[in-house]
Amino acid sequence: MIPENTVLNPGHISLLTALNVQEVVVYQRPQVGIITTGTEVLAPGAPAEPGKIYNSNGALLQGLVQEAGGRIIAQTQIEDDYDLLLENLKTMAKDCDLILTTGGVSVGDFDFLAIAAKSSQKLLFNKLKMRPGSVTTGFIFEDTPIMALSGNPGACFTGFYLFAEPLLRKLGHEASRVQAVTATLAKPYDKTNGYDRILRGTYYQKDDHYFVELVGSDQSGALGNLGSSTCLFKIPSSNKPIPLHSEVSTWLLPYKW
């Protein structure tokens, strides 16, 4: 028997077929909308322009949502315009179980998502004491959860796995596949932080214990290490560098194990 809430894999499908079961009752995959904001953002394929960047976050979230079991039913890129933002939120809220946004959530003159969150149906959280991704914000808009992620790619990636992936899995009646473990810091990290810092890293196992180290840059705008990061790990806030071989909270990323 296949238990309720099991994610069907090829082995399950084979078993069902052997029993001549052609149809089963399943949950609908979470329906997701993605909004990328920023007048400075160019659509992929557009001619390069001075002072502008390509919309890498749209492609990033599209892949992450699909990996996490979501189904993207709406995706758009908009300039910094409050009325346009509200229009897209209202349209997506009609059909989406979750809306993900990037950019516009800090404290600048054109950070309209921050304004939308504070005037929303319910503000869940914002201004987290962590970096990158301190601007990550959760709110409810017309009965639809919104996860507003940073426009910086590294922070967007981190915020997705810590906050959006567990929510997306829950909407799909699954447990998060981000595995929380304790690991040993295998290489020095000498920076001090007023906030907890969540680093993108790689890990290995030895004698049933995990060891972790930074991979690539720790900057929130860096994206060169997103493809090689197999985990996230936390450097607690301190005015002194963390000692080498310290035990650190670590999150193993799915699809990278």
Strands 144-149 and 98-102: parallel
Report the pLDDT value the prediction gives residue 255, as an integer from 0 to 100.
Answer: 75
Non-local (6+) Cβ contacts of 83 within 8 A are none
Angle at 163 between CA 227 and CA 103, to 5 degrees: 70
Half-sphere exposure of 209 (CA within 13 A, CB side): 9
- The residue ranges of every structural domain in the chain are 27-171, 179-252
Report the pLDDT value the prediction gives residue 144, as an integer from 0 to 100.
Answer: 98
Q: Which fold has domain 27-171?
A: Molybdenum Cofactor Biosythetic Enzyme; Chain A (3.40.980)
d(CA 235, CA 199): 7
Find tokens 């069907």 and name the residue. 8
Find tokens 């930074």 and name the residue. 214
Any alpha helices (H) in 77-196, and if so which ranges?
A: 82-93, 112-118, 153-159, 165-171
d(CA 182, CA 212): 9
Report the pLDDT value the prediction gives residue 105, as an integer from 0 to 100.
Answer: 86
Non-local (6+) Cβ contacts of 198 within 8 A are 130, 131, 132, 133, 158, 162, 232, 233, 234, 235
Report the pLDDT value the prediction gives residue 2, as an integer from 0 to 100.
Answer: 87
Report the pLDDT value the prediction gives residue 57, as an integer from 0 to 100.
Answer: 96
* Maximum Cα interatomic distance, the chain, rounded to a whole number of Å: 64
d(CA 137, CA 157): 14
pTM greater than the 0.75 cutoff: yes
Q: What is the pLDDT along the chain (257 residues), one digit of tens a residue?
A: 888 888 889 999 999 999 999 999 999 999 999 999 999 999 999 999 999 999 999 999 999 999 999 999 999 999 999 999 999 999 999 999 999 999 988 766 668 998 999 999 999 998 899 999 999 999 999 999 999 999 999 999 999 999 999 999 999 999 999 999 999 999 999 999 899 999 999 999 999 999 999 999 999 999 999 999 999 999 999 999 999 999 999 999 997 65
Would you call 250 helix, strand, or coil by DSSP? strand
Measuring CA to CA, which residue among 225, 236, 248 is closest to residue 157?
225
Report the pLDDT value the prediction gives residue 257, as an integer from 0 to 100.
Answer: 54
Identical fold, 27-171 and 179-252: no
- Which tokens hold the place of 152? 């910086």
Q: Which fold has domain 179-252?
A: Beta-clip (2.40.340)
